[in-house]
Structure 1
Amino acid sequence: MALTERIEIGFPGGQRVDAELRGFRIQTDQLVEHGGTNAAPQPFDLFLASIATCAGIFALKFCQARNLPTEGLHLRMDWQGHKTDPAAAQAVLRLTLPEGFPDKYRDGIVKAMNQCAVKRTIEQPPRFVTELVSAE
């Protein structure tokens, strides 16, 4: 089944690029040294945040579905980028479990985090098509 999501992009000025998706406006900018004003995250920052937050929601839902405590649950992602070879980059997700987290769920929460749709999409990348459309 094909899912279609339309994201509309606007250019409000300077180095700002905004996206409209499902009634939300996602604002981006560039760092000052790249000609921006640093008023919003860069698009790549949002990409990285989407990986971490997606893994995080799967960890949270895992705990909630089992009535496990989430106080103290913490996730950190370290991104080790590579300027010339994106395949050499690495995202390291480090989940801190709440005190007293049952050992029997340790493998399960990792498996749950690995079901993150963002991660799975990167691992099996989609095709990208760029088309030019004449102004109407």
Structure 2
Amino acid sequence: MKLHTRCGRTINVTRFAPEELPARMGRVVLDTSFSTHVEDELWASLTAEEARRLAGLVLYQAAAVDPEPRPVPGVVEVVPVVGDAYEIRVRGHALTVDQPLSDGGKDTAPTPVELFVAAVASCTAHYAGRFLDRHGVGRDGLSVRARFRMANDRPARVASLTLTVVAPELPPEKVAALRAVAAHCTVSNSLTRPPETELRVIHSSMDGARGPLET
């Protein structure tokens, strides 16, 4: 997997994970090509877009050399990265959230609220895609667009959410069925019937042991 930068470099992102070695010894390899007059300089200048692309390639290869994660259903962990950016860890996968510049963040990733809306939209798309599969219709052209508006009063919350499903051409009698299926995805159901939520605060010691501060 190669990234060609505007500064004239080519960064090849590969992995080194020989089968005869333990999985933990796998490595992600970044190989940067050099022009003849700068062959002794180990650098590459990246635009913001190139940096995001490179980060994606590195994460993709990291997942390939990572030992098989032990699935822990129903568990999500969030840890600080820098500033208002946080890493979300889900079964060996990693996502990042941040805040926009207008709210003091660096806008390096979507906000938690945007991920919430994205969860609704992507779950809707999943259900719509499965509906199309069951009825022998291809997913080409399928998309889901979500528009949301924040409330003007307190508490802070999403006040309205509009989902638009763009689907391949369907017989008229199938449209209503698709709408019914997509409207009752797991995330949407969790909004109409909210889960019981409990918030606990615990402290962590330097050795990783945890104990309750508040119940």
TM-score, normalised relative to structure 1: 0.87
Aligned pairs for 1:62-101 within 5 A: 62-84=131-153, 89-99=159-169, 101=170
The CA deviation string for residues 5-32 of structure 1, in whole angstroms up to 9 with x for no partner, is 1111111111111110111111011111
Note the residue ranges of structure 1 that are not aligned, 5 or more in a row: none
Give the equivalent residue in structure 2 for 1:133: 202
2:107 is the alignment partner of 1:38: yes
Give the equivalent residue in structure 1 for 2:86: 17
What is the DSSP-based 3-state SS (H/G/I as helix, E as strand, rest coil) of the residue aligned with 2:144?
strand
User: C-alpha displacement at 1:87, in angstroms?
Assistant: 8.0
What is the DSSP-based 3-state SS (H/G/I as helix, E as strand, rest coil) of the residue aligned with 2:106?
coil
Which runs of at least 4 in structure 1 moved beyond 4 Å after TM superposition? 85-88
Aligned residues: 133
User: C-alpha displacement at 1:74, in angstroms?
Assistant: 2.7
2:70 is the alignment partner of 1:5: no
Distance 1:49 1:87 in 2: 15
Note the residue ranges of structure 2 that are not aligned, 5 or more in a row: 1-71, 206-215
Residues 9/108 of structure 1: CA separation in 2 closer, same or farther (3 Å cut):
same
Distance 2:113 2:157 in 1: 16
What is the DSSP-based 3-state SS (H/G/I as helix, E as strand, rest coil) of the residue aligned with 1:83?
coil
Distance 1:78 1:95 in 2: 12
Distance 2:92 2:179 in 1: 32
Contact 2:97 2:109 in 1 (8 A): yes
Structure 1 stretch displaced more, 90-99 or 108-117: 90-99
- Equivalent of residue 60 in structure 1, options 129, 132, 140: 129
Distance 1:22 1:65 in 2: 29
Identity among equivalent pairs (%): 23
What is the DSSP-based 3-state SS (H/G/I as helix, E as strand, rest coil) of the residue aligned with 2:197?
coil
TM-score, normalised relative to structure 2: 0.57
User: C-alpha displacement at 1:116, in angstroms?
Assistant: 0.7
Residues 81/134 of structure 1: CA separation in 2 closer, same or farther (3 Å cut):
closer
Distance 1:135 1:42 in 2: 26
Q: CA RMSD in A?
A: 2.0
The CA deviation string for residues 16-54 of structure 1, in whole angstroms up to 9 with x for no partner, is 111101111110111112111101111111000001111
Contact 2:148 2:158 in 1 (8 A): no
